């Protein structure tokens, strides 16, 4: 869907177009400025603080059914808004606060939905101007809202650093604005590009990790023997006297395997569209230069020629195997590969690893009431990301000593 044309900012137009001069620049900014190992490490305390809020909240709601996705979405949005925008948004409208967390989340949901929607005008271009489904009207409306919000974000950041020599960037918008001041940059970043970049970072990060975690929990409550194996590994490696820390992940191969298996079965169904740069042949098909190419990862990741029992949730298949999720192994591409691979994959992966490990370590998980695991609905809704048709409801009970929840 040509959402970018109407929303003004989108993965496929300003900063990210692989055909425009901004693309190489944007990639360089990601790898050399925004997602360096040092910067990611410096945000660890944010990931820990936000996860702790959730752990505490779950402790207080223990025994009651909760819609897990709503809580996970709060963690993702709070982490990414602190990392990118330098602050998180509350659900209460406070003085001087231009937007509530709920409003921001609604805007992101609308943007993601419109990016993945099937629009008649895309298939029959001469009907496009009629906007039969009303999508274009909705895109223009959400673009206006985002622009108002991002203008305010940029103004606030500029005001904060005004008159300060050698200002040290505190968040990603600061980094982008400092780069925009740099006259030596190969392609100058203007205000519009900073806003586009900022929006891509927020939209790219928010729903992806939430959905992965919701699917992981759905698979685990559906397969209690796998859930038991995961808790056994956590007890053995972490013990019952402390929480998981990011550095522990290298000692938790089964938790890593659960994440890979969740991504294999429930990752994004398609990668970002590509265009063939030259004539080529793929599996005996002639692909002409300029053809738009869609990579169907859903099919690759369930291909029986590559995976034994492809529709079964079986993390064990990854144990002792070197298949990773970083775009090197083409049978598993949850973050894509190559020039358009997800620039935020290491941050996304860290949020997923620590949320999954700590939620499993700190709580037992059950379906509400007398619902059996066989009754759990696992239907998907195909969008830009793969959503669970019926949101997962679960009941959590603490499994560690009470003083550990006193954060
Ligand atoms: C578990 C978390 C995440 C998953 C599963 C995920 C997945 C993906 C995938 C599949 C793509 C398309 C890659 C391709 O076509 O080759 C992508 C692109 C992108 N992701 Fe992520 N992502 C995650 C987290 C993040 C985070 C944390 C950020 C930013 C902070 C981010 C920002 C982006 C952006 C800006 C793009 C567009 C890149 C382009 O068009 O060239 N993502 N992501």
Query: From ligand 1's centre to the CA of 201, what distance in Å?
Result: 9
Helices (H), 81-171: 101-116, 120-123, 135-161
Alpha carbon nearest to ligand 1 atom 11, residue = 342
DSSP string, 238-283: T-SSS---GGGGGG-HHHHHHHHHHHHHHS-SB---EE-SS-EEET
Distances (CA, A) of 75 to 98, 110, 210: 20, 19, 8
What pLDDT, on a 0 to 100 scale, did the predictor assign at position 12?
A: 36
Report whether residue 301 contacts ligand 1, using a CB cutoff of 6 Å: no
Query: What one-character DSSP code corresponds to residue 368?
Result: S
pTM of the model: 0.90
Report whether residue 211 contacts ligand 1, using a CB cutoff of 6 Å: no
Place of tokens 């603080």: 49
Residues 250-269 as b/e (b if ≥16 CB within 10 A, e otherwise) read eebebbbbbbbbbbbbbbbb
Closest ligand 1 atom to residue 27 Cα is 41
Q: Which fold has domain 2-405?
A: Cytochrome p450 (1.10.630)
Domain ranges of the chain: 2-405
Closest ligand 1 atom to residue 267 Cα is 5
**Segment (H or E) for 200:** helix 191-222
Mutate which of 40, 78, 208, 215 for ligand 1? The one with the most ligand atoms within 8 Å of its CB, which is 208
Residue 99 backbone class (left: φ over 0; alpha: ψ -120 to 50; beta: rest)? beta
- Pairwise CA distance, residues 250 & 229, whole Å: 17
- Pairwise CA distance, residues 297 & 267, whole Å: 8
Contacts of 147 (CB under 8 A, 6+ apart): 8, 195
From first to last of its 407 residues, the chain has per-residue pLDDT tens of 444 454 444 333 333 444 455 667 788 888 888 889 999 999 999 999 999 999 999 999 999 999 999 999 999 999 999 999 999 998 887 666 678 999 999 999 899 888 878 888 878 889 989 989 999 999 999 999 999 999 999 999 999 999 898 899 999 999 999 999 988 888 888 899 899 999 999 988 888 999 999 999 999 999 999 999 999 999 999 999 999 999 999 999 999 999 999 999 999 999 988 888 899 998 899 999 988 888 999 999 999 999 999 999 999 999 999 999 999 999 999 999 988 899 889 989 999 999 999 999 999 999 999 999 999 999 998 777 788 999 999 999 999 999 999 87
CB-CB contact of 356 with 226 (8 Å): no
- Pairwise CA distance, residues 33 & 27, whole Å: 10
Coil vs helix vs strand at 330: coil
Q: What angle do CA 341, 83, 38 make, to 5 degrees?
A: 70
**CB atoms < 10 A from the CB of 328, how many?**
11
What pLDDT, on a 0 to 100 scale, did the predictor assign at position 184?
A: 86
Report whether residue 352 contacts ligand 1, using a CB cutoff of 6 Å: yes
Tell me whether strands 274-275 and 292-293 are parallel, antiparallel or unpaired.
antiparallel
Report whether residue 210 contacts ligand 1, using a CB cutoff of 6 Å: no
Residue positions forming the annotated binding site for heme: 342
What pLDDT, on a 0 to 100 scale, did the predictor assign at position 407?
A: 79
CB-CB contact of 16 with 23 (8 Å): yes
């Amino acid at each position: 869907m040509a959402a970018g044309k109407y929303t003004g900012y989108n993965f496929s137009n300003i900063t990210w177009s692989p055909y425009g001069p901004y693309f190489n620049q944007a990639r360089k900014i990601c790898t050399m400025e925004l997602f360096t190992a040092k910067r990611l490490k410096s945000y660890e305390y944010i990931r820990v603080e936000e996860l702790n809020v959730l752990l505490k909240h779950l402790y207080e709601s223990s025994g009651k059914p909760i819609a897990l996705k709503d809580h996970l979405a709060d963690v993702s949005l709070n982490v990414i808004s602190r990392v990118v925008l330098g602050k998180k948004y509350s659900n209460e409208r406070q003085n001087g606060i231009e937007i509530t967390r709920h409003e921001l989340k609604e805007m992101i949901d609308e943007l993601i939905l419109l990016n993945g929607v099937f629009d008649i005008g895309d298939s029959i271009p001469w009907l496009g101007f009629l906007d039969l489904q009303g999508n274009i009207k909705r895109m223009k409306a959400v673009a206006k809202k985002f622009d108002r919000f991002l203008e305010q974000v940029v103004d606030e950041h500029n005001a904060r650093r005004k008159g300060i020599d050698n200002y040290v960037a505190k968040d990603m918008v600061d980094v982008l604005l400092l780069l925009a001041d740099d006259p030596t940059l190969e392609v100058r970043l203007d205000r519009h590009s900073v806003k586009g970049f900022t929006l891509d970072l927020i939209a790219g990060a928010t729903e992806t990790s939430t959905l992965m975690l919701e699917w992981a929990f759905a698979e685990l409550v559906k397969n209690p023997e796998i859930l038991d194996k995961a808790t056994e590994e956590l007890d053995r490696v972490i013990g019952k006297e402390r929480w998981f820390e990011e550095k522990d992940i290298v000692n938790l191969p089964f938790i890593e395997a659960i994440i890979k298996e969740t991504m294999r079965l429930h990752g994004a169904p398609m990668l970002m569209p590509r265009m063939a740069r030259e004539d080529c042949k793929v599996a005996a098909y002639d692909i002409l230069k300029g053809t738009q190419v869609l990579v169907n990862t859903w099919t690759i990741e369930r291909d029986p020629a590559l995976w034994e029992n492809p529709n079964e949730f079986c993390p064990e298949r990854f144990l002792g195997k070197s298949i990773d999720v970083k775009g090197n192994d083409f049978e598993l591409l949850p973050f894509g590969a190559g020039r358009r691979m997800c620039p935020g994959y290491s941050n996304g992966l860290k949020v997923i690893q620590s949320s999954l490990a700590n939620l499993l370590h700190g709580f037992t998980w059950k379906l509400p009431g007398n619902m059996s695991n066989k009754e759990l609905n696992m239907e998907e809704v195909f969008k830009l990301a793969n959503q669970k048709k019926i949101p997962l409801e679960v009941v959590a009970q603490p499994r560690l000593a009470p003083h550990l929840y006193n954060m």
